[in-house]
Chains A and B, each alone.
Chain A
Amino acid sequence: MAHGEIKLNLHIWRQKGVNDKNAGIKTYKNVNVDTHMSFLEMLDVLNTKLIEEKHPDGPVSFEHDCREGICGSCSLVINGRPHGPMQGTTACQLHMRHFKDGQDVYIEPYKATAFPVISDLVTDRAALDRIINAGGYVSVNTGNAPDGNAVLVPQDISDEAMNAAACIGCGACVAACPNASAMLFTSAKVSHLALLPQGQAEATKRVKKMVATMDREGFGNCSNIGACEAECPKEISISNIARMNREYFSAVVGKD
């Protein structure tokens, strides 16, 4: 693909600390952007420029780690869409060739009361970790690793569990949801263990504790809008939410 250069008008949410009264969108006009860059590289270049210019706003803080679409750190809302305009793509894997010369691009942090903004585009998403801590694991005794074929898992079940396990915990579902519900995340974590034999021992406790923690953290209630599924960079299906509802009903009503 031809090497190209475009100019973008970036409207970026700037915020110093959790309680910044002056937080808001600031505009950076006519920013030169190489179309071969990734979205995060574009922000790196902008930051270099802001630092060199000794710009009063200072560089833009944003989160990243792997830049390979596997860690879930990058968490930008680009033009109103978590991870931007491409289906099934994280912000770090989004390339600037998908933007047009002269385009206005809004870059905002995830919006949810459970995810307070720490600085600019960085939100505190530890609430998701606390949901995992509540039950998103299986307990095993230490010792030799068991034989891989000792527990049989049918291929279709294993595939379905794998689809749920593809969740990278980025929180885009919460960011996309008009209710800031964490049901897609929690249901993916409940599902991938509930589907497998290894997850059965703690299944009842798990779903009850994870849902209770999710509610306590101040996420909204799911109203089945489906924005989460549409924006999930790993394209996790909301059929996981129906599965978690089933798991929850049978855990609460159907078991001691």
Chain B
Amino acid sequence: MKWITNFLLSSIGKKLIMSLTGLFLCLFLIVHMIGNLQLFAGLPAFGGDEGEAFNTYAYMMTHNPLIKIISYGNYFFILLHAVQGILITMQNRKAKGGKYQGSETAKTEAKVASRNMAYLGILILAFIGLHMWQFWAHMHFFEMDQVKYASMGEPIKDLYSLVAEAFKAEWVVIFYLISLIGLSMHLMHGFWSAFQSMGLNNQKYSTIIRGAAMGFAILVPLGFASMPIVFYALSK
């Protein structure tokens, strides 16, 4: 069994862990984004269901046993990805041992995102911390306002109102937008990079993967950004 640890601790194995956990998180982002778009159903402009669609969805997400298992996997993968990413970055720093004083770079060279994955990651981690404190911790541990819908027997937690309230604050909206720009940059490099790490890039696929990465890195953060922007704008 030694071959497994050897493999996972090799430079290529470590990168495989980064890419698989990264792509799992990408999958999570799509599901999370689409699910959250149900927030809009609560706005008077889009029908105004008083948060019923979103709140019943949030109830299901916190009570369905299958979703629970997946969410534990998700927490684990975020931590694994973040810890591994930071460890790799520290190891790489040590291997480099400093910067050149000359300051030119090659014209064809990759952009800022690829060189700053760890900083972008730490920004995302800080965001996840705040975000989970604001909503996840309330759903799981704290007393919250409840609402009663005809479709549900018991009153359920009113996450919709908590979100709508949070997005009235300027600093929250600004921090969300900055973090989403950071996420976009992380994905601009990361999505493509994951395929390279898995060995799936070659002349045939490279253009397709780069295009998909670009689309993903723009559309997903944009979808997320639409929520704080619209809720903030309509609260004024």
Q: Which B95-122 residues sit within 8 Å CB-CB of chain A?
A: 95-110, 114-115, 117
Q: Which residues of B contact A80 (CB under 8 A)?
A: 100-105
Q: Tell me, yes or no, whether A120 is within 8 Å of chain B by CB.
A: no
Choose among B3, B7, B95, B200 the residue that contacts A219 (Cβ–Cβ < 8 A): B95
Q: Tell me, yes or no, whether B132 is within 8 Å of chain A by CB.
A: no
Q: Which residues of B contact A241 (CB under 8 A)?
A: 196
Q: How far is the CB of B74 from chain A (nearest CB, A)?
A: 23
Q: Mark B1-24, 1 if CB is under 8 A from A, else 0.
A: 001001100111111100000000
Q: Which of A40-48, A145-153, A223-231 contacts B (4 or more CB under 8 A)?
A: A223-231
Q: Indicate whether A221 sits within 8 Å of B96 (C-beta atoms), given known contacts A245-B199, A249-B199.
A: no
> How many angstroms between the C-alpha atoms of A253 and B98 in the bound complex?
36
Residue of A nearest to B97 (CB): A113
> How many angstroms between the C-alpha atoms of A9 and B94 in the bound complex?
31
Q: Which of A29-37, A64-72, A131-139, A174-182 contacts B (4 or more CB under 8 A)?
A: A174-182
Q: Tell me, yes or no, whether A81 is within 8 Å of chain B by CB.
A: yes
Q: Which residues of A contact B151 (CB under 8 A)?
A: none
Q: Tell me, yes or no, whether B225 is within 8 Å of chain A by CB.
A: no
> How many angstroms between the C-alpha atoms of A78 and B103 in the bound complex?
9
Residue of A nearest to B101 (CB): A106
Q: Which of B47-55, B162-170, B201-209 contacts A (4 or more CB under 8 A)?
A: B201-209
Choose among B7, B10, B117, B199 the residue that contacts A246 (Cβ–Cβ < 8 A): B199
Q: Indicate whether A77 sits within 8 Å of B100 (C-beta atoms), given known contacts A181-B95, A238-B196, A249-B199.
A: yes
Q: Which B78-108 residues sit within 8 Å CB-CB of chain A?
A: 88, 91-92, 94-108
Q: Are B198 and A178 in contact (CB under 8 A)?
A: no
Q: Are A108 and B196 in contact (CB under 8 A)?
A: no
Q: Are B202 and A239 in contact (CB under 8 A)?
A: yes
> How many angstroms between the C-alpha atoms of A252 and B10 in the bound complex?
11
Q: Tell me, yes or no, whether A51 is within 8 Å of chain B by CB.
A: no
Interface size on A, residues (CB 8 A): 53
Q: Tell me, yes or no, whether B197 is within 8 Å of chain A by CB.
A: yes
Choose among A112, A230, A239 the residue that contacts B108 (Cβ–Cβ < 8 A): A230
Q: Which residues of B contact A79 (CB under 8 A)?
A: 102-104
Q: Tell me, yes or no, whether B189 is within 8 Å of chain A by CB.
A: yes
Choose among B7, B91, B103, B106 the residue that contacts A253 (Cβ–Cβ < 8 A): B7
Q: Indicate whether A227 sits within 8 Å of B199 (C-beta atoms), given known contacts A113-B96, A180-B95.
A: no
> How many angstroms between the C-alpha atoms of A178 and B14 in the bound complex?
18
> How many angstroms between the C-alpha atoms of A79 and B6 in the bound complex?
39
Q: Are A108 and B10 in contact (CB under 8 A)?
A: no
Q: Which A193-251 residues sit within 8 Å CB-CB of chain B?
A: 211-212, 214-215, 218-227, 229-231, 238-239, 241-249
Q: Tell me, yes or no, whether A111 is within 8 Å of chain B by CB.
A: yes
Choose among A225, A230, A242, A243 the residue that contacts B115 (Cβ–Cβ < 8 A): A225
Residue of B nearest to A248 (CB): B12
Q: Which residues of B contact A239 (CB under 8 A)?
A: 201-203, 206
Q: Which residues of A contact B193 (CB under 8 A)?
A: 223-224
Q: Are B105 and A221 in contact (CB under 8 A)?
A: no
Q: Tell me, yes or no, whether A85 is within 8 Å of chain B by CB.
A: yes
Q: Which residues of B contact A253 (CB under 8 A)?
A: 7
> How many angstroms between the C-alpha atoms of A243 and B192 in the bound complex?
15
* Complex A-B: 5 CB contacts under 8 Å: A77-B102, A111-B99, A219-B11, A221-B11, A242-B199
* Residues of B near any A CB (own CB < 8 A): 3, 6-7, 10-16, 88, 91-92, 94-110, 114-115, 117, 189, 192-193, 195-203, 206
10 more contacts with CB within 8 A, not counting A220-B95, A231-B106, are A80-B101, A80-B103, A179-B95, A223-B117, A224-B192, A239-B202, A243-B202, A245-B12, A245-B15, A252-B7
List 8 A-B pairs, minimum CB-CB distance, nearest first.
A80-B102, A106-B102, A220-B95, A245-B199, A246-B199, A230-B106, A179-B92, A79-B102
